[in-house]
Structures are given as structure tokens and as C-alpha cells.
Amino acid sequence: MRKVVLVTGASSGVGLALCKRLLEEDDELHVCLACRNVGKAEAVRGALLASNPASEVSIVQVDVCSLQSVLQAAGELKQRFQRLDYVYLNAGIMPNPQLNIKALFSGLFSRKVIHIFSTAEGLLTQEDRVTADGLQEVFETNVFGHFILIRELEPLLCHSDHLSRLIWTSSRNARRSNFHLEDIQHRRGQEPYSSSKYAIDLLSVALNRNFNPRVRPGWGLYSSVVCPGTMVTNLTCGILPPFLWTLLLPIIWLIRFFANAFTLTPNNGTEALVWLFHQKPESLNPLTKYLSATTGFGSNYVMTQKMDLDEDTAEKFYQNLLELEKQVRVTIQKNK
């Protein structure tokens, strides 16, 4: 039986590059493209099958910023598949990123210049908004929509007779200082992207704590987080005008000799995601983030980083999500 891989945000960027690389690694896979734009997904499916005719590629339409869309997609997936072997939770947004010019120039002349450019710490703010579900857009897209998807797909994931893997696209920009349990949606802050990525780290740890067979016999779910590095994609292009990217790219190529976080292309950025595909989940540390890295000469490799969090906070966050889930499900039922 073919292994089934579900990838959210599969029509561009890291998601698209990941699908290409996975099928190059194993053309016996069934890859399901979970995308908002069906037209783009159809074009991607055609291209993937042209390059890998022995593979199976399907599409499910889902907008993780719409809970109704998530519920509908989960229902379709449960009708199509008996199990999911890998779920890459990759879709995400960074709306209206604004570069803090003052922080940029002060960082250039500080001892932490490499760290600042590798993580974008303090450099970026975003303008968030409220969705039709009454949630903050970045939180719902990057975290909560995926959480509800997983909850709905538990019958396909939590089997005792086979292992399922969740692999989250997080970030080096996930900062403890930007996340607060009292404000998990980051309504009162200016760095919702960083907050959402830290929330992903917490959620992954909590899922391992609640569903990992090492701590809960009879269940077969493992969760990991990765950072694809700093790339030029649709997500990051809006940070700077195109002419500034043109000017900065040669400098960034030079910085890569000192800061391996600049993977620059989606293909390079998938290194950690593909590496995890081949690992035995029992050998992985649930408190470790796996980082795609690229040398100054363009060679890709994987680094590890201990996540800056504690398991008690992760569990409290998980319980907060469960409570929020109850509230939104009541609202959805009332609106039917």
C-alpha cells in the first residue's frame, strides 16, 4: 500500500518544492496537495505527474484561515483515505510585513548582527486582522486551522498498528518573548508571526506528550518542527521593494559564509523536511527543532536546536486550544 503524504500550502514556495523532492525520493508515494486555490493546485498536480508518472497525486481544497473549509476538507480526506502517514503542516502567512529600519541599522553595528539577520529578531512587525471566524488571521492560519484539521483527522492519524508523522513548518523567528498564554492569538502585539511560530513549537511538544506512543501506549503519532531558513518566497518578498532585494542578495550570499540560515531558495529550505521523512520517529527528540541550513558554497545540511520552552507551558497552551475549540464549534453550530 502506498504511503500517503498530505501537504498544506503545496502550490508554491516550500510546499511545492517539498512535493517535488519527496516524489524524487520515492515515486511510490501518494501525495495529497491541500491548497486554497484549486486552479493552481491542478497545474501543480499536472507538473508533478508529468515528472513522476508512477506516483499518485491528488488535491483537497482547504483554506486553513476558514474553519468551515477545514471541516469540509477533513471530511473529504476521511472518505478518501484509511490513514495518513505524513502530514506536513506548512501553510502560513506573514501579512503586511514592515521592516523596522531603526532596528536594522542598529543591528548592523551590534555584536549580534549574525543572530539578528538569521532570526529577524526585532526587525519585522505585521498588521494582523480578524477573520470571519472572529480569530486573529495569523493565529488561525498558522496555528489554529491546522490544529482543528489534526483534531478532525485523528481517526486517520492515531492508529496503534501504524505510525503517523506530523511535521510543522516553524521558524528561527519563534520567540518566547513574543508569546503569552494570556494572549495566545497575539491580539495586543505587533509580531503575530513570531508568536504563531512559537505557538507551533509549543503545540508540537504537547501533541507528543498526549499522543506519542512512548508516553501513551496504543497510539502512534509523532510530531516534529522544522525551520526552512530565510528564503526569497511569496511570504518574504513583500518585506522589501524588489530593487532592494536585488541590491541585498549579493550581500546575503556573502553573509551565508557566516550565517547558514540563509537557504535562499525553497528547494534548499526543504532540506530538514525531507531529512525528517527518512528518520525513524523514535530516534527524534520532541524538544528539538530541525533547521535547514546552507553553506556559503551552496551545500545543504540539517542542524538541530533545542527549543526555548518548557513542557508545562506547552500543555497549558494545548488545553487553551481545546477550550477555544469548544467555543468555536458552538459558534459554528449556531450559524448552521
**Grid cell for residue 254:** 556573502
Burial class (CB in 10 A: 0-12, 13-18, 19+), 179: buried
Sign of CA dihedral 22, 24, 28, 31: positive
- Residue 277 is which amino acid? F
Q: Is 193 one of the catalytic residues?
A: yes
Given the residues 86, 88, 193, 318, select the one marked as catalytic. Answer: 193
Give Cβ neighbours of residue 72 (< 8 Å, ≥ 6 apart): 62
Please report how many Cα atoms fall inside a 13 Å half-sphere around the Cα of residue 270, on the Cβ side.
24
HSE-CB of 134 using CA atoms within 13 angstroms: 9
Tally the C-alpha atoms within 13 A of residue 274's C-alpha that lie toward its C-beta: 23
Residue type, 1: M
CA–CA distance, 242 with 248 (Å, rounded to integer) = 10
Which candidate, 213, 225, 229, places its Cα nearest to that of 314? 225
Q: Are 314 and 203 in contact (CB under 8 A)?
A: yes
Catalytic residues: 193
